[in-house]
Structure 1
């Protein structure tokens, strides 16, 4: 047997008790024939007016990918003017003629958008693995090795490299670069970055991901009904988790990425000419099911996403409740799906807490929920999230409490707020929230509080709608009974 030929268990095999769900498990993920060896990569670069960035990106992937592995580099020119191929022909490096680079050019006559360009390139790719990479990236040495290894382990797998920062001065990884890979899906059909100890990824960010060509084709690749930018990462992530695949990170596969900053070199130079589509709305309509009740963005008519029906049936995809259950530590213990909402009332004034420098009238205050994993217990929760938002109480200064994107895993020390048993609202290790001069919020050592000072209690408590939906769907689908040993992060 070839050393790269392996046989793979079906998704979730061995993670449930008994055999009552065997037929369901045999069909989940559809039938994918043995792919044999997984040895080569097609690098697909969707490029719209990237120009010099495109040339440098191609050069970096050409020079830093083993010729035994690099099947091709596909530059998908999404309506650039002049065409990118003409710029490559004028460039002194002539990468377009370099046999080591194996560059192919595909072109849209008008700028349609990122996902359309990815779909064009993916359908034409010939490598065993397709790596979709933004057209402003620089891979590091051996960037492809762990990606190939991960797809060999599970050919129904999407793999995200370690995404680092691109130094535009040298078009290479910035020294002491940050590393990102993991995101999670929010109920406004968006995504937020986070990190934890698990190598499984709920949601990809979009720009950098690799997968086996057979799995790409079996899942239908990308939603051809999406134009413009955004949303395809959420769709692809849910196709993986709900239809028999998974997503992992490859920590040793480092790819430096250019982020949009104030530097003029990072600005976009294109304008989408295709008719805009509500991509988030398509994700909601296609995947959320009963959770559409709690979506914070508007969906589209389900008739507009009928193109999903064929592959959903082919792969026996599961409902959205499975995704929430699969990542229940993040969604339940992290407070994204909180059990109850409430307001925090200060006992002496009768007014309620808000992200401000003053207490306010309780009836006008936004409702709060508990948020962020408590690192001491690994359970909920270590802070407060503003209900139906992605923001949590964060740092405190002369302007009072500020909001910032929730750090669901509880690593941001600024977001640690605890309502103690004595009613004191503790921030961090030793300070408490109190008031001065009526309703002005101050921070003072908890040991300095006078009797009755800085006492808060919950009022107007009620079960959240999102938890009602999850509780109802879990009772129906019974993932906790079918998969009691399924990882939770």
Structure 2
């Protein structure tokens, strides 16, 4: 072989060496990238595992607007306010009403999709469907498209504690329990949510305990709630009574209409956008059988207003109210929560107030107590009025952890009050009636917070309710605070000083809104509001324990001072939960 013959071979050898070096470099790059990705994945998994170990499991549904947070309910023991129920948040904005046609308002679009929402799972919509859902959201202040795609007999998980299964086996036999009349008031409710409420009652209740279901139509004008609803009701296997009001009467009087027609031994009130779970009814009736003066409520689970996902409610909450007489959920005190966990987590939770939407009460006891105050209008404050009356007149209010009912919580009301009536005036009038009859000297503190309610007193006639209180030999409000809501945060109504902290040169006021209820929070200064702002108002009150004075804000928050971690000689003024579930005092003698 000559030189000419070997030259191409040498060229090919050089080319191969060069090509292999390139491939080696590329291979090293690929290996490096894969190694980086593997490390990133492992690090992410470690972070998630650490987060779960520290915070517990967290599950999120699609989109931030419809996130569903699942947290161990026991972790909420001793932590402030979490949820507002029963406060009017405003009507459907006029611009949204203007964009809705009569056909959109009156058409029943219930058309279930197989598997949609089954077992309480969220409904997932396409981008186009989400636009349609946003357009019609204001009709009922929830995702109507999602609701209409879910079957009225959808399945739900059994979310009761494991101990509740054993508890259910110990209940009296069904034949020994009192029967009940289910009373559901509705006004322009969506067909799918109303039908699902009724169907869930029927499917998850022993029929022998359902004496009847009473529907009270508070003067709805949706066409599908006329003949179409009546045809649906005729197909049901339970006795149904449909009462139609001839004018808008409101929730309170509509419930009175239903109660007057009821023949069951127990009255069970439900809202028109609920879903009952397995075993929800028997614990309520069993408790009333044992104690006829017990007014019992289920754990209220959350049905997401966007996705209709079913989320287990937090058990260790009980009802209270803030300075402005708005119902609030407050966490059970830590010592009480620990005691329950050690002894019997299925035991009833004693509650100072109830949300009022879902509860059962012995019919005769309901009548003996004076039912609802018939002079309270539409809705608002009736739950507090009944709560005070039950407790002060010989009854008890309890939340039963082994009874669960889901409820669609809306951020605003989709319904107008009657044209001639102001929502603010109605609410203030109702609360003034509550205060005048049941709160004794503490009503004066409420009137400092709400001068609008105070101004309505001359127009009120509460003489009949005061006579009822005397007839029933009811206890005073001081007894209620000392024995029922021992950890209340109401200062003495007459001696407390109330006002703002104003910085004169900047004309700014001290704000006390916490970023996380129950946690320490640095206060802020902001523009002073012209009207009432609960986060700008402070109360200077003396301590009954002779521990100086307290500077209190609403929602059980107090001013305190704590040492800086970096400098023990520096004290930082903070807002925190009033210590020890008492009214609290200043850690550094503030004031």
Which TM-score bucket, shorter chain as reference? 0.5 to 0.7
Partner residue of 1:305 out of 439, 446, 462: 462
Partner residue of 1:48 out of 176, 184, 187: 187
Quote the residue 1:329 is aligned against. 486
Quote the residue 1:117 is aligned against. 254
Quote the residue 1:69 is aligned against. 209
Quote the residue 2:234 is aligned against. 96
Residues 188, 57 of structure 1: alpha-carbon distance in 2 compared, 3 angstrom cutoff? same
Q: Secondary structure at the match of 1:329?
A: coil
Matched, 1:454 2:454: no
Contact 1:46 1:75 in 2 (8 A): yes
Contact 2:299 2:314 in 1 (8 A): no
Quote the residue 2:441 is aligned against. 290
Distance in structure 2 (CA, Å) of the matches to 1:76 and 1:358: 49
> Which sits farther off after the overlay, 195-204 or 148-157?
195-204
Partner residue of 2:327 out of 175, 191, 195: 191
Runs of 5+ consecutive residues of structure 1 not aligned to the other structure:
1-35, 345-351, 372-378, 391-405, 409-414, 420-424, 427-431, 433-445, 458-465, 468-489
Distance in structure 2 (CA, Å) of the matches to 1:195 and 1:135: 27
1:325, CA displacement in angstroms?
1.2
Partner residue of 1:320 out of 457, 477, 497: 477
Contact 1:159 1:249 in 2 (8 A): yes
Quote the residue 1:60 is aligned against. 200
Structure 1 or 2: larger strand share?
1
Residues 284, 353 of structure 1: alpha-carbon distance in 2 compared, 3 angstrom cutoff? closer
Contact 1:95 1:101 in 2 (8 A): no
Contact 1:40 1:70 in 2 (8 A): yes
Distance in structure 1 (CA, Å) of the matches to 2:303 and 2:221: 25
Distance in structure 2 (CA, Å) of the matches to 1:233 and 1:358: 35
Quote the residue 1:412 is aligned against. none
Matched, 1:252 2:392: no
Give RMSD over aligned pairs: 4.0
Q: Secondary structure at the match of 1:163?
A: strand
Contact 1:40 1:68 in 2 (8 A): yes
Contact 1:96 1:102 in 2 (8 A): no
Q: Tell me the TM-score normalized by structure 1.
A: 0.62
Quote the residue 1:235 is aligned against. 385
1:89, CA displacement in angstroms?
2.9
Matched, 1:272 2:418: yes
Contact 1:164 1:255 in 2 (8 A): yes
Quote the residue 2:228 is aligned against. 87
Quote the residue 1:145 is aligned against. 282
Residues 456, 272 of structure 1: alpha-carbon distance in 2 compared, 3 angstrom cutoff? closer
Residues 227, 416 of structure 1: alpha-carbon distance in 2 compared, 3 angstrom cutoff? closer
Contact 1:79 1:107 in 2 (8 A): yes
Runs of 5+ consecutive residues of structure 2 not aligned to the other structure:
1-174, 338-348, 502-508, 513-522, 528-535, 575-582, 585-591
Residues 369, 254 of structure 1: alpha-carbon distance in 2 compared, 3 angstrom cutoff? farther
1:195, CA displacement in angstroms?
2.2
Distance in structure 2 (CA, Å) of the matches to 1:308 and 1:155: 23
Distance in structure 1 (CA, Å) of the matches to 2:222 and 2:568: 72
Contact 2:318 2:329 in 1 (8 A): yes
Contact 1:48 1:80 in 2 (8 A): yes
Distance in structure 1 (CA, Å) of the matches to 2:178 and 2:471: 27
Distance in structure 2 (CA, Å) of the matches to 1:380 and 1:181: 31
Residues 78, 274 of structure 1: alpha-carbon distance in 2 compared, 3 angstrom cutoff? farther
| 1:206-225 superposed matches below 5 A | 206-225=356-375
1:272, CA displacement in angstroms?
3.1
Contact 1:156 1:244 in 2 (8 A): yes
| 1:163-182 superposed matches below 5 A | 163-167=300-304, 174-178=310-314, 182=318
Contact 1:50 1:135 in 2 (8 A): yes
Contact 1:65 1:142 in 2 (8 A): yes
Distance in structure 2 (CA, Å) of the matches to 1:68 and 1:235: 32
Distance in structure 2 (CA, Å) of the matches to 1:162 and 1:281: 29
